[in-house]
Amino acid sequence: MLDSEKKELMIQTLKNKVDKQILYYLDICARCAICRDACHQYKITKDPKYIPAYRAELIRRLYKKYFSVLGRMFPNIYEAKEVDDEFLLSELYQVAYACTGCRRCMYYCPFSIDTLQILSVAKAILLSAGMGNQILQELSDAAIAKGENIGIFKDIFVKMLKESEPEIREKIKDKNAEIPIDKKNADVLYVALSGMHSILPAAIIFNKAKINWTLSMFEAENYGYFLGDSEKAKTIADRIVKEAERLNVKEVVITECGHAYRVINFFYEAWTGQAPPFKVTALIDAISRYAKEGLIEVNKNSSSEIVTYHDPCQVGRNAGFFDEPRYLINSITDNFRELTPNRTKSWCCGGGGGLVAIPEMDEFRIKTGEIKANQIKEVQAGIVISTCENCRLQINSLNERYELNIKVKSMMEFVAENLKV
Amino acid sequence: MNMDPFSFIVAILVYVAVLVFISGMTFKIIVWARSPGMKINLGMYPKPKNGFIRFFKILKDSFIFPQTLEVDRWMWVFAMLFHFALFVALFGHFRLVKEFTFVSNVIGIDNLNTLGAVGGGTVGITMLIALVYYLFRRFASPYKDISVPEDFLLILLLLGIAGLGVHMRFFGTVHTEDYREYFQSIMRFKPAFNKALAQSQTRWVLSWHVLFVNLFVIYFPFSKLVHVIGTFFTNKIRSE
């Protein structure tokens, strides 16, 4: 049982988090459940609690209880529940942290209800009760700690980068190629993920395109966002914003990571009330621009291997990059085949929303990724390209489980491999 | 007074219903307008290229929602049938405010009455069929798991309204002119039955019909039915 102070905090959180947009959604949903088969998690599990409308309904039940006169007077008509209802809280936890935030339900909803936004309220309430996801909490705290103690990490990081430079120089036959860090007045600050796999191919492309760039000391991913803790998410994003301001860069390029671009480009403004004072670009956008401007050139690949592209929800439907990846793939191979459905209607891979980082979700995400696995099987792809780290990790898991025999690549990797030197 | 107490109370309740509806909707819209909004646009891509295209996309998404057809065909079909029938039925009721002389002048009053009988009957029965679909869908899994009593109450209320409406259309000796006199007596704040109504059992059907409409209209601003207006706002969010 929760004590009354905690309960009061949860009710206040509910009140504060319900903004205009969410109020519309809570007021107008007709519970028609047209969204049911839009959600891959319901479609695979057939468990009603994963129907987007049901996920939202849980929040509505709380809202009715405290902020609607009719809901208070006749709770049974709305199945309104107290905020300490244990069954409701346990369902809320399951459905909120299971949601990959793909917003496919929003696409099919006749009212365009954004279930992801409603679930941000759910996560905030759970956090106020100390019931947030443990793993995501630890990962967020680690990211914040790194921001506060960057000196400790810097030397190891620089050493790792120096060791990789020869590889770049050899690849593009340029003795001066480097991975600069902390470079003042660079044009571009590139924000990668932890791991050279997201640094090296991009470094090759930036050096080849002769971009005046510098690498961020921080990783783009934001577990605070997945956790649903806007304070932590803001602190984590702030590391990058502060660095960009300190280095006085013109443009911040975010690596191929679905949520990272959205966090800096959209949510940062929502959390802080002001847009970051520089241009934010997704790497996929930057690469395709370099290619169109002739800063880099690619070789037409002679391999007959079928290449397909998985539209990551956060890159496609939620950020608008549909044509850029297709332009790049088509300039490298003649064997590009589309998954069906694709673009705005693309199925979620099943691993978004930070699910790939939560071990307890492994079985669930691989099971619910079956739709994506079948789509890939259908086109008999040998290479699957995706511009989101979550998606790539997930598709690699699917590759193992469903024996897809595919290679999963990022776009920067695919471009770097086929770069004309 | 030639009204029985029940019919009289129902007629008086019309004023209450109109008042509650107008103030309730005003209140709802004020609450919506005054609640703090997110300053960023979280619409769905690809977004409409300019305001002109966006405007028509919002209308299309609100009135036709074509994407729904792909994922739940029957629900789309019945939702379309229901809302269209409801709209036509509502429009038909304006004959009670003032006879559609612009139609009767052209095709004659007899033809207008036939049109009203056939058209009104058709939309009434269409509504009933769609509502029965709505109701049985809610009894089926998984929809029953996400339904709350409010959903059933609204469907039952609408079934009552449409059922009684269809009854008046097909049975009895009371005609449009009589209903018009009744309706106008309410509009003049002097609710009364004319002779035909006072002598007919149909007055009970009429009064129950009006009672259900009153309840429906009173509850409207405080229910999920505000989707009628809200859908334009949320579909706007989708396109921005």
Contact B68 A108 (CB under 8 A): yes
User: B79 contacts in A (CB within 8 Å)?
Assistant: 32, 110
What's the length of chain B?
240
Euclidean distance between CA atoms A322 and B45, whole angstroms: 9
**Boundary (domain end) residue, out of A292, A327, A342:** A292
- Are residues B71 and A38, on separate chains, in Cβ contact within 8 Å? yes
- Which of left, alpha, beta for A185 (phi over 0: left; psi -120 to 50: alpha)? left
Which candidate in B23, B25, B41, B68 is best for mutational testing of the A interface (most A CBs within 10 A)? B68
Check CB contact under 8 Å for A25 and B31.
Answer: no
Distance CA B183, CA B190 (A): 10
Among A269, A292, A315, residue at a domain's last position: A292
Q: What is the pLDDT averaged over residues B171-199?
A: 90
Rounded CA separation A373/A200 (Å): 28
Residues of chain A with C-beta less than 8 angstroms from the C-beta of B60: none
Smallest Cβ–Cβ distance between A28 and the set B38, B79, B227 belongs to: B227
Distance CA A114, CA A107 (A): 9
Domain co-membership, A229 together with A120: no
Average pLDDT estimate for A43-53: 96
Is residue A297 in a domain? no
Size of interface A-B (CB pairs under 8 A): 144
- Which of A111, A345, A347 would best serve as a mutation to test chain B binding (most B beta carbons within 10 A)? A111
For residues A206 and A179, membership in a common domain is answered with yes
**Cis (ω within 30 of 0) for the bond into A201?**
no
Q: Tell me the one-letter amino acid at A69.
A: V
Residues A278 and A145 in one domain: yes
- Do both A172 and A276 map to the same domain? yes
> Is residue B178's pLDDT more than 70?
yes
> What confidence tier does A1 reach under pLDDT thresholds 50, 70, 90?
low
Query: Looking at residue B91, which CATH number applies to its domain?
Result: 1.20.950.20
Domain that includes residue B27, residue range: 5-35+44-239
One domain for residues A147 and A284: yes
Upper half-sphere CA count for residue A378 (Cβ side, 13 Å): 12
Q: pLDDT tens, B194-224? A: 988 988 889 999 999 999 999 999 999 999 9
Domain count, chain A: 3
Q: Are residues A61 and A208 in the same domain?
A: no
In this structure, the answer to whether residues A72 and A144 fall within a common structural domain is no
Average pLDDT over residues A156-176: 91
Q: Is residue A218 part of a domain?
A: yes
Contact A181, A158 (CB under 8 A): yes
pLDDT tens digits along A104-113 = 999 999 999 9
pLDDT for residue A2 is more than 80: no
A152 and A253 belong to one structural domain: yes
Contact criterion met (CB below 8 Å) for A114 and B237: yes
Of A30, A108, A111, the CB nearest to B71: A108
Domain count, chain B: 1
Residue A166 lies in a domain: yes
What was the ipTM of the complex prediction?
0.94
Tell if the CB–CB gap between B224 and A25 is shorter than 8 Å: no
Predicted confidence band of residue A195 (pLDDT cuts 50, 70, 90): confident
A301 lies in some domain: no
A30 is a domain residue: yes
Are A412 and A313 found together in one domain?
A: yes
Sign of CA dihedral A217, A219, A220, A223: negative
Maximum distance among all Cα pairs of chain A, rounded to whole angstroms = 76
Is the pLDDT reported for residue A51 higher than 90? yes
User: Which CATH number goes with the domain that contains A103?
Assistant: 1.10.1060
Residues A154 and A217 in one domain: yes
In a domain, A117, yes or no: yes
Using omega within 30 degrees of 0 as the cis cutoff, is the peptide bond preceding A166 cis?
A: no
> Is the domain of A201 the same as that of A185?
yes
Mutation for B interface: A16, A21, A29, A32, most B CBs within 10 A = A32
Does B157 reach chain A within 8 Å, measured CB to CB?
A: no
Q: What is the CA radius of gyration of chain A?
A: 22
- Alpha helices by DSSP H, A133-253: 134-148, 150-172, 200-208, 223-227, 230-247
B91: closest CA of chain A, how far (Å)? 24
N residues, chain A:
421
- Paired tokens of B226: 């505000």
Chain A within 8 Å of B42 (Cβ-Cβ)?
A: yes
Cross-chain Cβ contact B40/A270 below 8 Å: yes
List CB contacts (< 8 A) between B227 and chain A.
27-30, 111
pLDDT at B15: 97
Taking alpha carbons only, the member of B36, B33, B35, B61 closest to residue B48 is B61
Q: Which amino acid is at A179?
A: I
Number of H helices, E strands in chain B: 12, 0
Domain that holds residue A41: 4-131
Residue A352 lies in a domain: yes
Q: Tell whether the model's pLDDT for residue B149 goes beyond 80.
A: yes
* Whole-number average pLDDT of chain B: 93
| Long-range Cβ pairs for the range B194-201 (8 Å, 24+) | B198/B2, B198/B3, B200/B172, B200/B173, B200/B174, B201/B172
> Residues A148, A121: one domain?
no
A317 domain-assigned: yes
- Report which secondary-structure segment, H or E, holds B237: helix B227-239
Task: Count CA atoms closer than 13 A to A235's CA, side-chain side.
Answer: 15
